[in-house]
């Protein structure tokens, strides 16, 4: 692959990461805290709706972000410290999402639980900060 292909892949990576940073900040400041204002009787339906609809946005973006990042690393054998640290942050985000957040959302499909919503909001700061840091590192890596 030549420099034009790297440039295109890098742009895809920046766009997907930027979009995820926007999504995570909206989730952190608006959407997750709003879970506390949903009518308890309707909460199960709300959570199922949330999980179906947010997945339409988040899953493709996360897959594009991960795939483009791994391809850049693998194909170009990059030793760019900023990019490599950003990729580590991405693996950390995926780990948190798979191990913690999926389980919390699954528990909320059983009904509203203030302790889980509070935990969701508080722990999501880890993903919010990690994604924001990632974007800065990816931009610093600049090709």
The pLDDT, as a whole number, for residue 17 is 98
| pLDDT average, residue stretch 112-120 | 97
pLDDT exceeds 70 at position 3:
no
Predicted model pTM: 0.91
pLDDT exceeds 90 at position 143:
no
CB–CB of 56/123 below 8 Å?
A: no
> Residues 86, 88, 91, 96: is their CA dihedral positive or negative?
negative
111: region left, alpha or beta (phi > 0 left; psi from -120 to 50 alpha) = left
> Residues 7, 8, 10, 14: is their CA dihedral positive or negative?
positive
The pLDDT, as a whole number, for residue 78 is 77
Domain segments of the chain: what residues? Answer: 3-141
Q: Which of 95, 86, 96 is nearest to 65 (CA)?
A: 86
- For 62, residues 6+ apart whose C-beta sits below 8 A from its C-beta are 16, 20, 94, 97
Run of H or E including 50: helix 43-76
| pLDDT average, residue stretch 38-60 | 96
The pLDDT, as a whole number, for residue 101 is 97
- Residues 81-87: contacts with CB under 8 Å, at least 24 apart: 82/137, 82/138, 82/140, 82/141, 83/137, 83/138, 83/141, 85/137, 86/133, 86/134, 86/137, 86/138, 86/141
| pLDDT average, residue stretch 18-47 | 97
The pLDDT, as a whole number, for residue 4 is 65
The pLDDT, as a whole number, for residue 5 is 72
Collapse the DSSP code of 87 into the 3-class scheme (helix H, G, I; strand E, B; otherwise coil) and give the result.
helix
Residues 67-98 have pLDDT tens digits of 999 999 998 877 899 999 999 999 999 999 99
């Amino acid at each position: 692959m030549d420099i034009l292909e790297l440039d295109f892949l890098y742009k895809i990576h920046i766009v997907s990461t930027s979009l995820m940073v926007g999504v995570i900040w909206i989730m952190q400041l608006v959407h997750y805290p709003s879970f506390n204002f949903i009518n308890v009787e309707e909460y199960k339906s709300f959570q199922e709706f949330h999980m179906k609809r947010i997945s339409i946005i988040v899953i493709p973006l996360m897959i594009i972000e991960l795939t483009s990042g791994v391809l850049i690393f693998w194909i170009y054998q990059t030793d760019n410290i900023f990019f490599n640290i950003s990729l580590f942050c991405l693996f950390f985000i995926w780990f948190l999402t798979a191990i913690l957040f999926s389980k919390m959302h699954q528990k909320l499909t059983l009904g509203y639980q203030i302790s889980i919503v509070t935990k969701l909001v508080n722990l999501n700061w880890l993903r919010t900060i990690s994604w924001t840091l990632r974007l800065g590192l990816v931009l610093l890596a600049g090709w």
